Amino acid sequence: MRNALLAIGFLLLCPPPGFADVVDSSPAGFTVKVVVDAAAPAQRAYQALTERIGSWWDKDHTWSGNAANLSIDARPGGCFCERLANGGVTHMTVIYAEPGKLLRMSGGLGPLQDLAVTGVMSWAFTEAAGKTTIER
C-alpha cells in the first residue's frame, strides 16, 4: 500500500512526457493543452506541421474529407486553409511564425467557426537530447 501511494505521488509530481488536458474551463471559454515528444529535430517537426499537414491530419476532421486539401502558409497573416471542390475554408490565420520554435494561429476550428467565439492556438517546439517536445 505504501509503495502504491508513493507511486501515485511520483506520477503526480512527475507527469509522463506526453499529456493532454483541459486545463481550465468556464461558460466563457476554455484552454486545452497537449504535450508530446517527437523523435526528430525541432526544425523538422515545425516543417511537418506547416508543410506536411496533409500527411498527418486526420481526414475525418476536414470539411472536404481529404487532408491533402489542407495547407498552412506559415507567415504572419498566412492562412491555415482547406480547398473545397467549389470553394474553400479559412480555418485559422497565422499571427506568429518563428520556424523551428513557435507557430501561433488565431481562429475557431471546426464547429467553433459557426459560433461567436475565437481561439488562439500555439505550437511551441523545444529540442533537447535529440528529441523535440511539442507544447506551449
Partner 1 sequence: MTYKVGGYAPGTGVGTLAAAVDGVLTAQVRRLAQFVSTH
- Give least dist CB 126 to partner 1, A: 12
Q: How many CB atoms lie within 10 A of CB 97?
A: 19
Q: Is 59 a residue that touches partner 1 (CB under 8 A)? A: no
Cell 474553400, residue?
A: 88
Specify the residue, 25 or 90, whose C-beta has the smaller distance to partner 1. Answer: 25
Which of 1, 5, 13, 116 is in the footprint of partner 1 by CB under 8 A? 116
| SS3 of residue 56 by DSSP | helix
Q: Which stretch binds partner 1 (CB under 8 A): 5-13, 70-78, 93-101, 118-126?
A: 118-126
Side-chain half-sphere exposure of 4, counting CA atoms within 13 A: 1
Q: How many CB atoms lie within 10 A of CB 89?
A: 16
What is the helix (H) or strand (E) element at residue 13, kind and residue range? helix 2-13
Q: Is 95 a residue that touches partner 1 (CB under 8 A)? A: no
Q: Is 15 a residue that touches partner 1 (CB under 8 A)? A: no
- Give least dist CB 60 to partner 1, A: 9
What is the helix (H) or strand (E) element at residue 10, kind and residue range? helix 2-13
- Measure the CA dihedral 33/124/35/117, to 10°: 20
Q: Which stretch binds partner 1 (CB under 8 A): 4-12, 14-22, 73-81, 82-90?
A: 14-22
- Give least dist CB 13 to partner 1, A: 22
Contact footprint for partner 1 (CB under 8 A): 18, 20-22, 25-40, 44-45, 48-49, 52, 55-58, 61, 108-112, 115-124, 132, 134-136
